[in-house]
Structure 1
Amino acid sequence: MFFRTFSFLLFLAFSFQISAQNKQISLEEIWSGTFRQEGLQALQSLNDGQSYIIQDYDREKSEMRVDIYSYKSGQRTSTLINSADIPELKYFQTFKLSEDESKAILGVDIQPIFRRSTRGIYFVYDIKTKKITRIDEEMIQEPTFSPNNEKVAYVKNNNIFIKDISSTQKTQVTTDGVDNKIINGLTDWVYEEEFAFVRAFEWSLDGNKIAFLRFDETDVPEFSMDMYGRYGQDLYPSQDAFKYPKAGENNADVTLHIYDVDSQKTNQVNLEAYEYLPRLKWTKDENVFSVQATNRHQNELKLYFVDTKTSKAKLIHTEKDNAYVDVTDDLTFLEDNSFIWTSEKDGWKHIYHYNKKGKLIDQVTNGKWEVTSYYGYDRQNKRILYQSTETGSVNRGIYSIKLNGESKRDLSTKEGTNSASFSADFTYYVNTFNSVKTPNLYTLNLAKNGKVVREIKNNDVLENKLKEYQISPKELSTIKVNGNDLNMWMIKPLDFDASKKYPVLMYQYSGPGSQSVSNSFMGSNDYWYQMLASKGYIIVTVDGRGTGFKGRDFKKVTQKELGKFELQDQIDTAKLLGQRDYIDENRIGIWGWSYGGFMSSNAIFQAGDVFSFAIAVAPVTSWRFYDSIYTERYMTTPQENASGYDDNSPITHVKNFNDDNSYLLIHGSADDNVHVQNTMQLIEALVQENKQFDWRIYPDKNHGIYGGNTRLHLYNLMTDFITENL
């Protein structure tokens, strides 16, 4: 009797174990955060290099704090700012320290504008005296301390102001700011979106001058979006109108100015012919300012040094490319005003060192791999810290190297995706590691040799949780397509049987310089793919020509013909996959978002014999509808390259859509990036060709299509469409 009972208990335990490992992922779990990774709060190194600060909210005490931690021990040593010490504020959302860490700008009621821009109410807080001073009675943008911490410059109503902290006196630097016409000290929509650039003013090192950009948007066409509001609250739609230069249309007229704080006079800096001024930066000389300028085609980038005493500009360095030159954020000035710069001029992105006159001193890194992040220059040890693809384009490693290109050190501890955040004095760095098998692992490392000092945080809880679910491995490989070894990943059903045939869903993005195949851990879409794999689908992603991190020529082959070579690689990949015994060549679908929606739409219209199914979310349907900076970088203007725009537009090919195939078109009505106009024009073309398809519009949702239950609804929609049609 005991033996039979014991055997029954063993059976139950075994059955429970099998059941526990057999759970299927649900969309509700994905979008409720069940599989969210433990993250590391954004930390900021203090000047001593031995401590860092983290903003944290204590719910029990209802306190917002900025706490100081020791790098070495990880222990909290003190509190720098505490809302409990500030009776005038119950909380603060953002903080920004002055250079000497004696003061902070605290922000409340922060409201987003576009992707990177915000406005809010801001205060100056004296950390020692605990005195707080409101900067302006109205909402402002981009408040920034002067280097001596005595003043704050900011933008209000498109004009620049300066406030003296001790006297509270305000000075209005510009007076001509007008919404949708003149902007001072901030960038317009297209600069913000495509150059990742918002604050367009910079204090001089001595705090006596401010360099700033002025945008005249008068002749830029205006785009408007209807906002429908909530049922029962908004009877009439409102309208959001802003200046948006589409390909070939007028850009804002942008000029560079230098304001003298003492004399309160402004001088304009005259440069040679240019279209864009995408970067401003002061050099190590308090009287010399640098500006990057590029022509409209963006195939020539110039670095100027401006003498602020005379407002005269001198050309220091020029980068040219037959296709385009990427704007660099990696410009670093050394004490002698020589500078570090990154360039693709040898065919791969590498680090260069130039003297203050623009003469090349050394190419610091070289090889058939790319520098993917420049972390900074350790002046004490004369070493550059950077991230690169030296162990393969799907991986990221951390390295240090001498300024002359010698004595390179590998600081990575594992192969996969490593990224680093260095302390101010480059003694330590926090390494974030993940791979297809390992979620984020955070460690503190020594910058001199990469040695791990301590583990900060791991995701063991998530790893253990995932053991309860049907998780299929993501297989990294390459596939030979059109003479290139393309990076590929594949997820098969956990019970994969090579003797059976499976339908395939291909995902791609394919935009210039992008990467969808990497040795990194799962994101939200990957959990969705796991769910689909458990339903019997194989999921595949391939990075074709035009994507990044495999050299200049591989990336820029798509110039003037966006959508041509990228599409051919996806089509030929699908054909090769269809030749595999375990893949049903008649059931291959493709989907994508944004650029990927452009691609999936082209795939179903131009290769309906290869793809039986497509989903396009927020797609560009003609590059004529997209913004000037992004589009013309790769296509020049429609006036110059009409065939490049039209030959690869999904709208051009709707007549070839096979009615036996399935197509789902999705867009948010308030997409300020890829306008819903793209989808509406495509719908009209499909209707006039009498082509049947499915579509959804999400009211008042932007390019990300999220908010409340929106993502859950969207992915339920796509899942149902896949299971019904693929």
Structure 2
Amino acid sequence: MIFAYLKKYLAAILLLLVTTGYGQQKITIEDFTEKGTFSQRSIGGINWMNDGNYYTSLIDNRILKFNIITGETEDVIFDGASLDKQKRINRYQFSADEGKILITTDRQAIYRRSYTADFYIYDLNTKSLTLLSENGRQAYATFSPDGSRVAFTRKNNLYYVNLNDMSEVQVTDTGEAQKIINGSSDWVYEEELSLTKAFCWSPTGEKLAFYTFDESHVKEYNMQKWKDGALYPEDYRYKYPKAGERNAIVTIHIFDLATQKIVDADIGEEWDIYIPRIKWTKTKDLLSVIRLNRLQNKFNILHVNGSTGKSSLAFTQSYSTYVDIDEADDLTYLNDGKHFIISGEKSGFKHLYLYTMEGKLVRQLTSGDWEVKTFIGIDESQRSKPIYYLSTETSPLERQLYKIDLKGRKKTKLSDQPGINSVNMSADFSYYINYHHSANTPINVKLFRTSNNKMIRVLESNEKLKETIASLNLSKKDYFSFKTIDETTLEGYLLKPNDFQEEKQYPVLIYQYSGPGSQNVTNGWAGSHFYWHQLLTQLGYIVAVIDSRGTGSRGVDFQKITYKQLGKYEAEDYIEAAKYLGSQPFVDAKRIGIWGWSYGGYISSLVLFKGAPYFKTAIAVSPVTTWRYYDTIYTERYLQKPQDNPAGYDDNSPITHAAKLEGNFLLIHGTGDDNVHFQNAVNLQNALISAGKQFHSFYYPDRAHGIRKGKNTRTHLYRMMTDYLLGNL
């Protein structure tokens, strides 16, 4: 008992030294939770102007107009100081003719992506500022193509405003809380399909296509909210379809502004489906509807007549595992009205394909044992019709910019530096902004002319951050790879103490996320929890970041091996990782730990329980503990329904293996987690208690999945995890 007390006392003293900046340790927890010491500057809120010579950006609550060539500020297009009650501009969009600006203010989040806000219309000709609607807060306000109207949703119904007289038209009136949603998505579509704005204008602005969600039969989940000073907690209920349960019934409708009539789109007789995307094609009055079956292994494109609602099946693709939802986002219709481009994994790697409107394959545009990660667009104004995309062709750890013509020829690599590139290309493809970073360099933002791929100027180089990094002498990423028992090569990197000595032995903490298609090991700057990991190296730990099987960028066979048995291969890989690390002369094999958040928390729990005696300690933050508690779209995509694959749900649940716990386990969860419910932590704790296992747990009242809300929350979290490791690893 005395030894244990002294150990914890010394750990607390050491933590105090770290967080107050004494001695050689220079990073404090507050540096990355409160002070913004490592804030990375970038160039955001970019809108390319129609004339091709200017772009605008939101800076210090002002919309500024910049000359592309010189970089000089040409004009202050709108100053947020003129908004009511000194509101901040959250985002903005121009009408097609750039005569008006739609300004989002007072954005209030609902869940991860959904929100309500107050919107304003600013007329650049008259310099007038007008509130979009005085009838209540709105969501997802969007200009019509001609800029004469703005559509939005409010309280489960769809509306639009005629800007000539600011008259408001209600498109639907069936919306009802917890029953019918028009024009916005339900919780599970928002979380798993990244869909919130569930409507779109036709190219001429004559029609509005929109979703309706009937969630009447979807079961509710309830959470209690613990408000300070309240005698009784508030009961919050919302629709959440867990694996195997009923989803909302989704239908697609088309509203004709001229007739004020709604037409129902024919999307087939099967109701237990998903509609991840709708979009208007380049053919007049033709709506594209993407349909997935419940198991998400069959992908269809329907073409719907916008006037009659009649549909035809234009394309179908089936998989033995599951569809990558990126295929829906990559779908691009060409101006000729005869073709579309879409991505697919038929070759075992994600590539781009050209099809006719009838679904006949014309050609595969890209090929090789590498993946197209981002389809940027096609410049149809050029004779060769160049296609721009980011890929892993040079390395799975990198993202490089390429172009190729519509015949799949003349492939050219445009980016010239190792690392990670992302691109914001102007609508006319004349210019692009490249955001580049690498393992040793934070984001550099540069402007390029597309025609000759010449850099015009540097927009941001993060010199201040570079100085901070240099002054702190951060640990460099030391990349490595190793083979598992079945000869699978896994990639990782180590962060070592700056005074690292080969002859010493160090404790190792493995960090992973491991979810399907994810990737933590890249030739990119920082990464999740990077500065906390740096702090741990200053305390004498080695941090190992490793990607297991099931993660992305290495092809279908590597990623989709986990199909129908999530957790099995990931756990095996991290046990193998512990064996490999433990064999290194500089690693103390008796002091190896693992941690993760969300899916990573699921894996860290499972690995500790199944991985004795290779792991001493694990931390699980907001973990799934049984996939039976998680939502339909995500879970069934990878495991099918629990009714059809019960073993896939139970064989690798941490709850199933709770009795095997031998090491130190810290379980952390927010009681207000609308995504991975607190129920997961409660039931794992019950299983551990029933098995007579001692462990540590902590809950954050009313905090959601990210455990951020409230003063000092993240500081408290990282300090608690640091203290736990000091005492238990």
Q: Same fold (TM over 0.5)?
A: yes
Q: Deviations over 1:479-538 (max 9, x none)?
A: 112322211111122222222221111111110000010111124622221221122211
Change (3 A) 1:523 1:559: closer
Q: Deviations over 1:219-258 (max 9, x none)?
A: 000011111123x4x3332122110000000000001111
- Alignment gaps of 5+ in structure 1: 1-18, 58-63
Query: Matched residues in 2 for 1:69 and 1:21: separation?
Result: 46
Shift of 1:133: 3.1
Query: Matched residues in 1 for 2:347 and 2:51: separation?
Result: 38
Q: Which residue of 1 aligns with 2:523?
A: 519
Q: Which residue of 2 aligns with 1:669?
A: 671
12, 28, 31: which one aligns with 2:30 = 28
Q: Secondary structure at the residue paired with 2:472?
A: coil
Equivalent residue runs for 1:407-556 within 5 Å: 407-481=410-484, 482-523=486-527, 525-556=529-560
Q: Which residue of 1 aligns with 2:367?
A: 366
Query: Matched residues in 1 for 2:469 and 2:257: separation?
Result: 59
Equivalent residue runs for 1:238-277 within 5 Å: 238-272=234-268, 273=270, 275-277=273-275
Q: Deviations over 1:116-172 (max 9, x none)?
A: 111112222221112333332211111122212222221111011122111332222
152, 160, 171: which one aligns with 2:169 = 171
Query: Matched residues in 2 for 1:350 and 1:292: separation?
Result: 19
Q: Which residue of 2 aligns with 1:212?
A: 210
Q: Deviations over 1:45-94 (max 9, x none)?
A: 1222321111123xxxxxx4211112211111112223466789765433
Q: Partner letter of residue 380 of structure 2?
A: R
Contact kept in structure 1, 2:103 and 2:121, CA below 8 Å: yes
150, 171, 176: which one aligns with 1:152 = 150
Farther off after superposition, 384-393 or 93-102: 93-102
Shift of 1:464: 2.0
Query: Matched residues in 1 for 2:86 and 2:478: separation?
Result: 52
Q: Secondary structure at the residue paired with 2:562?
A: coil
Q: Which residue of 1 aligns with 2:63?
A: 66
Q: Secondary structure at the residue paired with 2:655?
A: helix
Q: Which residue of 2 aligns with 1:13?
A: none
Q: Secondary structure at the residue paired with 1:597?
A: helix
Contact kept in structure 1, 2:263 and 2:307, CA below 8 Å: no
Q: Which residue of 2 aligns with 1:235?
A: 231
Contact kept in structure 2, 1:409 and 1:449, CA below 8 Å: no
Q: Which residue of 2 aligns with 1:404?
A: 407
Q: TM-score, normalised by structure 2?
A: 0.93
Percent of aligned pairs with the same amino acid: 44
Query: Matched residues in 1 for 2:242 and 2:707: separation?
Result: 22
Shift of 1:543: 0.8
Query: Matched residues in 2 for 1:510 and 1:717: separation?
Result: 24
Q: Which residue of 2 aligns with 1:678?
A: 680
Q: Secondary structure at the residue paired with 1:529?
A: helix
Query: Matched residues in 2 for 1:683 and 1:420: separation?
Result: 45
Shift of 1:570: 0.7
Verify: 1:595 aligned to 2:591, yes or no.
Answer: no
Query: Matched residues in 2 for 1:86 and 1:439: separation?
Result: 35
Verify: 1:335 aligned to 2:339, yes or no.
Answer: no
Q: Secondary structure at the residue paired with 1:490?
A: strand
Contact kept in structure 1, 2:25 and 2:538, CA below 8 Å: no
Query: Matched residues in 2 for 1:494 and 1:673: separation?
Result: 38
Query: Matched residues in 2 for 1:572 and 1:88: separation?
Result: 58
Q: Which residue of 2 aligns with 1:37?
A: 40
Report the number of matched residues: 698
Q: Partner letter of residue 262 of structure 1?
A: A
Q: Deviations over 1:432-473 (max 9, x none)?
A: 111111111111122234322211111222222222224222
Query: Matched residues in 1 for 2:511 and 2:531: separation?
Result: 14
Shift of 1:42: 2.5
Q: Secondary structure at the residue paired with 1:532?
A: helix
Contact kept in structure 2, 1:20 and 1:469, CA below 8 Å: no
Q: Secondary structure at the residue paired with 1:415?
A: coil
Query: Matched residues in 1 for 2:85 and 2:532: separation?
Result: 46
Q: Secondary structure at the residue paired with 1:719?
A: helix
Equivalent residue runs for 1:282-431 within 5 Å: 282-327=280-325, 328-337=328-337, 338-381=339-382, 382-431=385-434
Q: TM-score, normalised by structure 1?
A: 0.94
126, 130, 145: which one aligns with 2:123 = 126
Q: Secondary structure at the residue paired with 1:466?
A: helix
Verify: 1:201 aligned to 2:199, yes or no.
Answer: yes
Farther off after superposition, 672-681 or 44-53: 44-53
Q: Secondary structure at the residue paired with 2:535?
A: helix
Contact kept in structure 2, 1:470 and 1:530, CA below 8 Å: no
Q: Partner letter of residue 665 of structure 1?
A: L
Contact kept in structure 2, 1:49 and 1:426, CA below 8 Å: no
- Alignment gaps of 5+ in structure 2: 1-20
Query: Matched residues in 1 for 2:128 and 2:467: separation?
Result: 48
Q: Partner letter of residue 627 of structure 1?
A: D
Shift of 1:21: 11
Q: Which residue of 1 aligns with 2:15?
A: none
181, 187, 201: which one aligns with 1:183 = 181
Contact kept in structure 2, 1:37 and 1:459, CA below 8 Å: yes
Q: Secondary structure at the residue paired with 1:468?
A: helix
RMSD (Å) for aligned C-alpha atoms: 1.7
Change (3 A) 1:174 1:379: same
